[in-house]
Structure 1
Amino acid sequence: MQFKERLLITAALCLPAALFSQSTYFSPASKHSHFIDRMEILQGKVVDQNFSTNKPYNRKFAGDLALVFDSLTKAGTIKLSKQDAYNLNSFYANNSEWYNGDESAFQSKKPFLKSLYTNKANFFEHKDKDFFIAINPVLNFQLMAANNDIKNLFINSRGVTIRARIANKIGAYFNLWDNQERGPAFVRNWVSTYNAVPGANFYKSFKTTGVDYFQGSGGITFPVTKFIDVQLAYDKNFIGNGYRSLFLSDFGGNYYFLKLNTKIWKFNYQNIFAELNPKFTKTGDYLLPKKYAAFHHLSININKWLNIGVFESVVFGRKDYIELSYLNPLIFYRLIEGNIGSPDKIHEGLDFKANVAKKLQFYGQLLIDEFNFQKIRKDWTWWGNKFGYQLGAKYINAFNVPNLDLQAEVNVVRPFTYSHYSDSAQYNFPIANNTHYNQPLAHPLGANFREFIGIATWQPITRLLLTGKIIFAQQGLDSSATSRNFGSNIFRPYDDRIGDYGYKIGSGLKANLLNASFAASYEVKENVFFDFSVLIRNFDAPKPLISKNTTVVSAGVRVNLVRRDYDF
């Protein structure tokens, strides 16, 4: 039986228990995500809802946070800037199904054709006690120019997004847009090297140098008890509090998954069971092989300001069946792995988040791929010493400047982390590496790197958002896909390495990457933006790798869609 059929049967069995109100989700890249961060940090504590580490955000939980934040501002506990007041009103308008207050602030005085844009945030909206639906068009048209590159670089996206709530029991959403894109040379090189468009799945060539692809997502959500929610969807997920995630990120394409989220007392426990595609060569239309993954994340609010979480995942593949043992949401996978004699790709991890002084948030992750104390004590450069860590901080209203927010983050991942051995008995390539549709499931750089990220976000007036970002990374690379394996390319099997010792971060051809960008977005109407950005990307590496300096200037308009960033 196919994995999707199993998920549908599970959903059907659970539907009769749907007795409690249920929510849809919004993207981690949504314009409201940063505001949710601010609302939490300004309270000086981790939120009681304990949801913000797991993304996409649950609209209801985020709405509950906004109501608490609103009540604190009215009580004088928190002082709102004009920008925050604007953002709060915008948040309510875009999540009106969970707002029961006075809606006059975001209702249109003269709706278009009397029934369109009655709510300034939604093209069409209907809301009553039993049914809610919002329908919006999607548009993104950006023109780009890059030095030493071909002309006519652009992004052209059109589509629709729909979300609904039925009888306060079922949430549903559907997003679909068509894209034609001709990105800068380094993006086109990524596509040709990995047979993948960053953030997307299936694609076709468009006028030789461009790509044409659909981006679609959708799903249904419903509760099975007061404390357990279920989501059946084709989408992506993100676990963490940073700009990057070492556990599970939304950098790659969508996938089918069943998600269980259990929230009780100070605990939040999330289980994701996913169907993925392993590495493949794009040679035409054919049925791609399958692999599967399960991700578990348990977090607890230790006190008012500290949240700690534990993470575990397994990626595995079988030609003719799914390993049912891994669908157990409670037992540690290392124990299951030993019991069934199947050494799949297991990851374990820890994470934390601390909100301090109503201005600061500290966060981090520790990912363990493999750990052997005896061998590491003998020689730290042992190839199997596979782990990664993240440390970061956010500083809001920096230096007492309203709505100037800073973020600094460090990500370090040792060689061969996320990679796996070649499964020659079944596929003749690594089936259980941490990838999906030729893209990493976690960090876009793969492994064997140090990365430093600095982000400044400033909203000087209500409708203008300025963002500056600097990413600097050092990585040890292979000279080619068939040369000596230094552990950065997670698509290569780790059993083709030469020797077991001598692997440090940066081993191989040491490359330096600088990605610096500035973006200005002006919201002329609710969810309608004029964008301008400049990207400077310098890639410096020894021969036979090719160094490349790129400057990209872009401008355009977008409606109900997030910016397309090239941050790798």
Structure 2
Amino acid sequence: MFSFFLNSKKALRKFLIFYFSLFVLFLSVSFAQGNYTSVNKNIYSFFNRIAVKRLVDFQEFVKPLTRSQISFFLEKLKTNSQSLTKIERQEFDWYLQEYGYELEKSKDEMIETFKDGRIQSSEDFADSTSNLSTHYSGLTSKFTLLSAIPRFHFFTYTDNDFHIVADPILGFGIVNNFKEMQYHRWNGINIYGSYGKHFGFNFSFRDNWEKGDKADKIKQFSNVPGINIVGGKDNDFEYSEVNANITYETKNFILSVGKDFLEVGSGYRGKLIQSTKAPSFPFIRCDFYPVEWLSFNYFHGWLNSKIIDSSKIYSTSIKDQNRIKYRDKFIANHSISIRPLIGLDISFGESIIYGDGGLNILYLIPVSFFRLADHYESQGSNNAGSNSQFFLDINARLFRGLQFYSTLFIDELSISKLLKGETDRNQFGFTVGLYNYGTIGNLGLRLEYTRILPWVYSNYIPSQTYSSSGYSLGHYIGQNADQIFIQIDYKFIRGLEFKFLGEHIRRGGISDIKNQYELPGEEFLYGLRRNETNIGLEFSYEFIHDLFVKGFYQYSYITDEDKSRTPDWQLGKNQSFALSLYYGL
């Protein structure tokens, strides 16, 4: 049989070395220095707002983007910067400072490389970075502590080949929730840099401590990322977050090996395809941009199944302390994004969850057809197969000031049965949203609806559910649920933003998993109902780069017919207040 699996660490190491070397040899020589910008950074929302006004052509189907990619979009915006509002112009200058090194370092190469109209002239680009040139141009080496130019960093070092930046992560927050005070403290470090024209790296570590008798240890019903608790007492707990990437980037290719949060698809409150709900996981990732209107993305991830492999349990030197190992679990995802018109992005692709046998070469081929590969592997047996999904995403900014976006995530769909009116066994979810910005100054209006039918993300084989570390890889509301979300956001001055939001979430029940595979199937929102309504006001202000103060007020009303799902003290009406001060993300 033409397939093989990589089970040993030695074989895995050899494969990754080969995989990385093959791409490095293949990639063409051009400008780029790759280190990823966290999906939580405000630069993404800034570009989306500007793209809605049709002042820049911004692509964001797969995130995060590298700093050089972001600097390229900043450079493109230069030609339309005169159309920005006063606050938008201040934000633009703010991000020119943030990405000053990438802009200055790539200026000469970009002028020579992009002669297809994306850069009008060398003078235009030089003007946009003139205020940065005195800091970075002609460097042999520069070591700086507590630098304030072009933006504040605790540590920087730069020479002609090597650049590194290091900043601490510090934060403290208080929350009055469920009629008690809760506390959250975090600290860590964030490092990023580059070497030469192509290699980049980034590393971030954050140690967290939360305290409160009613503090949310599970984080099941919110869009806050899930956690793996590593210590604590009855009324407090600790957990850590580590993300890191090594990246090789050129004009048309990006190859990275790392552990980080990935986002795939459209959606503001949550994403159906790939969200940040589950803790970050290790992956290899490849992005290919052959032409301006077409892009290809692939990643292969190592998930945490949280399923103990009974065949690998053995005793240790301490009585009743057996060694355990979790069963293998992986995800492969690839997608194509096409831009038929400026302002219209259409993306489609597939993903597959597999495991129980080590790495499978069929899913390490970026251009393979995963579902057909699964048919080959399973030989027609569901018990031997994997769990595949398809998705389609549309992001349209065709009219100035208005964005329409939608995602369709298909877990199981029969077109023939759908045409006959038999819809119960069709398992899919969808999101549709509208966003208006710029019609009235810096005011944004958003309306978003998500519906996920029963049994989406689930599977009768526990190691093949669409999850990692016990959390959904997709939208946080989960299967058999829907959500309507509205938000009004407004920027009063540079860095100060207020948001008024409201949402209503309905969740149904979950019955025996065998019902997923039997007709007639389950109706939408079957079972015991959980309803949740939230109305809130949030504000945030960025004093200097990465120094934030944030606060929110939220009124919530929760009912649940399932007495075991929601603690009694969460039910009914509740008011929450929070305030936090932090440096770094």
Quickly say closer, same or farther: Cα 1:543–1:330, change in 2 above 3 A: closer
Shift of 1:161: 0.4
Give the structure 2 partner of residue 438 of structure 1: 470
**Secondary structure at 1:431's aligned position in 2?**
helix
How far apart are the structure 1 equivalents of 2:134 and 2:178? 43
How far apart are the structure 1 equivalents of 2:516 and 2:245? 42
Alignment of 1:433-472 (within 5 A): 433-472=465-504
How far apart are the structure 2 equivalents of 1:455 and 1:523? 21
Give the structure 2 partner of residue 488 of structure 1: none
Give the structure 1 partner of residue 67 of structure 2: 59
Give, as a single letter, the amino acid of the residue that structure 2 aligns with 1:87.
E
Quickly say closer, same or farther: Cα 1:470–1:57, change in 2 above 3 A: farther
Work out whether 1:343 is the aligned partner of 2:352: no
Work out whether 1:404 is the aligned partner of 2:446: no
Give the structure 1 partner of residue 255 of structure 2: 230
How far apart are the structure 1 equivalents of 2:340 and 2:242? 38
Correspondent of 1:362 among 404, 418, 424: 404
Work out whether 1:143 is the aligned partner of 2:174: yes
Quickly say closer, same or farther: Cα 1:345–1:336, change in 2 above 3 A: same
**Secondary structure at 2:147's aligned position in 1?**
coil
Conserved 8 A contact 1:519-1:534: yes
Work out whether 1:10 is the aligned partner of 2:19: yes
- List runs of 5+ in structure 1 lacking aligned partners: 423-429, 479-483, 486-493, 562-568
Correspondent of 1:552 among 573, 576, 580: 576
How far apart are the structure 1 equivalents of 2:479 and 2:516? 15
Q: Deviations over 1:101-141 (max 9, x none)?
A: 12359989xxxx97422332422223343222111111121
Work out whether 1:288 is the aligned partner of 2:333: no
Shift of 1:199: 2.3
Give the structure 1 partner of residue 101 of structure 2: 97
**Secondary structure at 1:444's aligned position in 2?**
coil
Work out whether 1:386 is the aligned partner of 2:427: yes
Give, as a single letter, the amino acid of the residue that structure 1 aligns with 2:38.
S
- List runs of 5+ in structure 2 lacking aligned partners: 1-7, 105-128, 137-142, 309-320, 379-383
Give, as a single letter, the amino acid of the residue that structure 1 aligns with 2:272.
L
Give the structure 2 partner of residue 275 of structure 1: 302
**Secondary structure at 1:509's aligned position in 2?**
coil
Conserved 8 A contact 1:352-1:364: yes
How far apart are the structure 2 equivalents of 1:22 and 1:366? 34
Shift of 1:148: 3.4
Shift of 1:186: 7.0
Quickly say closer, same or farther: Cα 1:461–1:168, change in 2 above 3 A: same
Give the structure 2 partner of residue 185 of structure 1: 214
Correspondent of 1:28 among 32, 39, 48: 39
Give, as a single letter, the amino acid of the residue that structure 1 aligns with 2:436.
Y
Alignment of 1:231-310 (within 5 A): 231-243=256-268, 244-265=270-291, 266-280=293-307, 286-310=324-348
Conserved 8 A contact 1:146-1:184: no
Correspondent of 1:83 among 87, 90, 93: 87
**Secondary structure at 1:43's aligned position in 2?**
coil
Conserved 8 A contact 2:50-2:56: no
How far apart are the structure 1 equivalents of 2:422 and 2:563? 29
Conserved 8 A contact 1:306-1:354: yes
Give, as a single letter, the amino acid of the residue that structure 1 aligns with 2:415.
F
Quickly say closer, same or farther: Cα 1:238–1:474, change in 2 above 3 A: same
How far apart are the structure 1 equivalents of 2:227 and 2:388? 25
How far apart are the structure 2 equivalents of 1:508 and 1:528? 46
Work out whether 1:512 is the aligned partner of 2:536: no
Shift of 1:468: 2.2
Alignment of 1:32-47 (within 5 A): 32-43=43-54, 46-47=57-58
Give, as a single letter, the amino acid of the residue that structure 2 aligns with 1:209.
N
Give, as a single letter, the amino acid of the residue that structure 1 aligns with 2:256.
Q
Give, as a single letter, the amino acid of the residue that structure 2 aligns with 1:359.
G
Conserved 8 A contact 1:36-1:62: no
How far apart are the structure 2 equivalents of 1:177 and 1:32? 21
Q: Which moved more, 1:211-220 or 1:544-553?
A: 544-553
Quickly say closer, same or farther: Cα 1:461–1:521, change in 2 above 3 A: same
Give, as a single letter, the amino acid of the residue that structure 2 aligns with 1:233.
G
Quickly say closer, same or farther: Cα 1:171–1:393, change in 2 above 3 A: same
How far apart are the structure 2 equivalents of 1:4 and 1:246? 30
Quickly say closer, same or farther: Cα 1:125–1:284, change in 2 above 3 A: farther
How far apart are the structure 1 equivalents of 2:307 and 2:456? 20
Correspondent of 2:200 among 161, 171, 176: 171
Conserved 8 A contact 1:200-1:213: no
Conserved 8 A contact 1:40-1:46: yes
Give the structure 1 partner of residue 414 of structure 2: 372
How far apart are the structure 2 equivalents of 1:42 and 1:347? 34
Conserved 8 A contact 1:44-1:305: no
**Secondary structure at 2:72's aligned position in 1?**
helix
**Secondary structure at 1:340's aligned position in 2?**
helix
**Secondary structure at 1:116's aligned position in 2?**
strand
Quickly say closer, same or farther: Cα 1:431–1:115, change in 2 above 3 A: closer
Shift of 1:261: 0.3
How far apart are the structure 1 equivalents of 2:531 and 2:280? 30
Conserved 8 A contact 1:348-1:369: yes
| Identical counterparts, % of pairs | 20
Quickly say closer, same or farther: Cα 1:115–1:187, change in 2 above 3 A: closer
Work out whether 1:495 is the aligned partner of 2:514: yes
Shift of 1:251: 1.5
What is the aligned-residue RMSD (CA, Å)?
2.9
Alignment of 1:503-542 (within 5 A): 503-542=522-561
Conserved 8 A contact 1:511-1:542: yes
How far apart are the structure 2 equivalents of 1:4 and 1:241? 33
How far apart are the structure 2 equivalents of 1:550 and 1:285? 44
How far apart are the structure 1 equivalents of 2:49 and 2:201? 28
How far apart are the structure 1 equivalents of 2:395 and 2:322? 45
TM-score by length of 2: 0.82
Conserved 8 A contact 1:41-1:360: yes
Correspondent of 2:365 among 328, 333, 354: 328
How far apart are the structure 2 equivalents of 1:336 and 1:505? 32
Q: Which moved more, 1:543-552 or 1:207-216?
A: 543-552
Quickly say closer, same or farther: Cα 1:186–1:505, change in 2 above 3 A: farther
How far apart are the structure 1 equivalents of 2:95 and 2:152? 9
Q: Which moved more, 1:460-469 or 1:497-506?
A: 497-506
